[in-house]
Chain A
Amino acid sequence: MEIELSIDTDLVTNILTKFIHSEITRFGFSRAVVNLSGGIDSAVSCALAVKALGKQNVLAVWLPYKNSSPESLEHAHLLVDQFGCPSVTIPITEMVDPLIERFPDMGQVRAGNIMARARMIVGYDQSEAFKGLVIGTSNKTEILLGYTTLYGDSACGINPIGDLYKTQLRQLAQALAIPQAIITKPPTADLWVGQTDEGELGFTYESVDRLLYLLIDQRARPQECVEAGFEAKFVQVVVERVRRNQYKRILPPIAKLSSRTVGVDFLYLRDWGT
């Protein structure tokens, strides 16, 4: 079984910029808002939006918390300078701290989810003020693994990068001239000091992308992945993680009562009529 994660970045850029342009303009918009974290995913989404819509039509929003790393700030600034798009900095500390402080025993995950959802609120508010749609920044790896906060960083109007694994995004980031420091630093949600994606997940993106490519894209059986050299325990953990997080990838089920129910037998694309 071949693992083919290399992409033609010109082809992908062409499709994704046309996608952004089509999905924004068909609803009468011309602008977009991207929550920049200083990481590679939001950098790529923002770069694609700038290419698709023009720099004046993309608002980069930087939403630091008091313990956000100085490196994230530095990288967000680097990107805004490079893209030349309008930007706004809105600290979320004063929004989230009263809620976090109300529950002294609150753990990192709860606090992190609150921050991710506060960023969603501010991003959507800015999108109304700027009259643009929110561009998503979730990649295929984290969508499949459910490594995301529901209604937080996963919330968006359209997502250009959700069918690209992290490994493929790194190639696209190179082609889009995202600064090297952003491409090579350890990926982090930056929700608490010292957090890294790979530390929290327990495996590297490089290895899990290769496994997911076989399981998802090639429809390989788990046993075939073990035979191809992946550790049985690793395969089991990833298969289970993908299953367990399906709820984050779909709309909540509606209890069916009538003869026609939204999402069940009331079926229209979002692009209906456009």
Chain B
Amino acid sequence: MKINLALAQINTTLGNVQANLAKHLDLIKEARQQGADLVVFPELSLTGYILQDLVPTVACRPQADDPVFHNLLEASRKIDVVVGFVDEDARHRFYIALAYLAQGQVLHVHHKVYLPTYGLFDERRFFAPGDRIQAFDTRFGRMGILICEDFWHVSPPYLLWQDGADLLVFSSASPGRGLNHSSQLVSSAWVEHINRAYASLFTIFIAHSNRSGFEDGLNFWGGSTLYDPNGKLVVQAPYFEESLTTAEVDLNQLHRTRARLPLLRDERPELVERELQRILHGD
């Protein structure tokens, strides 16, 4: 099976959900016209990233009676959509969230588990952390979705791999930083390095949608990627620019790679569980 993937590397209007929604609907349409089966937007694509006190004013609910999601769910009848937003739960806790929409339904919602609160980041001040990491079934097979700092930690991609995901979709609003003689920022080189490593170590597909544009002095570097189960770069969007980049996810590559390299077959999660028990609980 093959998936036509579209990475919607967009800039956003900070705090203006309606303007961002309109851009989503345009790009979803464009992706569909280009024959895409799945279009992936960046982290907080409906709101912008450094929200601070805007958080409570831009939150929505991923359900059909929400005016924003009503439009997105309608648009997802012909193409699957991964969208970033602020989720306000029934008890008014706010999460950085990613929803997978397909055929008018919400298939899965992920709440960002790791909220960076160091250096230039201040997420934990404004958001509650998620506490679940679960893969889910789509019409293209089992997938997992993670948000930015979630995949700077090795355990969430590992758990999704063990939960049966063969395509991991990473979404981020990654501020570019770290200057040296290289033609690439340190932060973008690092993200590409680890994404390639996950694809190679887990023999899976890693799709990464990162935003572009600026918020105050921060640049978002774009450069969205797809890596295949051999760790090979299939496609990369331009740095620092908005783009809709398409690529084919050839799921048959899983068969070819794993016939050669049975890392999934030989992985021993029960051993990991036993050793973690010992490390954490001393038994």
Contact = CB atoms under 8 A, between A and B. Distances in A.
B104 interface: no
A159 B20 CA distance: 27
Given A15-B240, A19-B214, A22-B213, 17 more contacts: A6-B181, A7-B181, A8-B182, A8-B183, A10-B183, A11-B184, A15-B176, A18-B219, A19-B219, A22-B214, A168-B179, A268-B53, A269-B52, A270-B216, A271-B14, A273-B15, A274-B14
A272 B213 contact: no
Specify which of B179, B183, B214, B219 lies most central, judged by the most chain A CB atoms within 10 Å of its CB.
Answer: B179
Interface in B179-220: 179-185, 213-217, 219
Interface residues of B, number: 24
Interface of B: 13-16, 50, 52-54, 176, 179-185, 213-217, 219, 239-240
Interface residues of A, number: 24
A142 interface: no
Interface string A242-274: 000000000000000000000000111111111
Contacts of B180: 4, 6-8
A147 B215 CA distance: 27
Given A267-B52, A269-B52, A273-B15, A18 B179 contact: no
Interface of A: 4, 6-8, 10-12, 14-15, 18-19, 22-23, 163, 168, 266-274
Contacts of B219: 15, 18-19
B16 A273 contact: yes
B12 to A, nearest CB: 10
B146 to A, nearest CB: 25
Contacts of B52: 267-269
Given A15-B219, A22-B214, A4 B53 contact: no
Contacts of A10: 183
Chain A at the B interface: SS class: loop
A7 B54 CA distance: 36
A266 B185 CA distance: 32
26 contacts: A4-B180, A7-B179, A7-B181, A8-B180, A8-B181, A8-B182, A11-B179, A11-B182, A11-B183, A12-B179, A15-B219, A18-B219, A18-B240, A19-B219, A22-B214, A23-B214, A266-B53, A267-B52, A267-B53, A269-B14, A271-B216, A272-B14, A272-B15, A272-B54, A273-B14, A273-B16
Contacts of A15: 176, 219, 240
Contacts of A267: 52-53
Nearest to A260: B53
A274 B181 contact: no
A267 B216 CA distance: 13
B14 A11 contact: no
B17 to A, nearest CB: 11
A23 B11 CA distance: 13
Nearest to B179: A7
B215 to A, nearest CB: 5
B62 to A, nearest CB: 24
B54 A268 contact: yes
B119 to A, nearest CB: 10
A274 B182 contact: no
Contacts of A266: 53
A10 B179 CA distance: 12
A11 B185 contact: yes
B203 to A, nearest CB: 33
B123 to A, nearest CB: 13
A6 B52 CA distance: 34
Nearest to A273: B15
Contacts of B183: 8, 10-11
A15 B215 CA distance: 13
A18 B50 CA distance: 19
A267 B14 CA distance: 13
Contacts of A14: 239-240
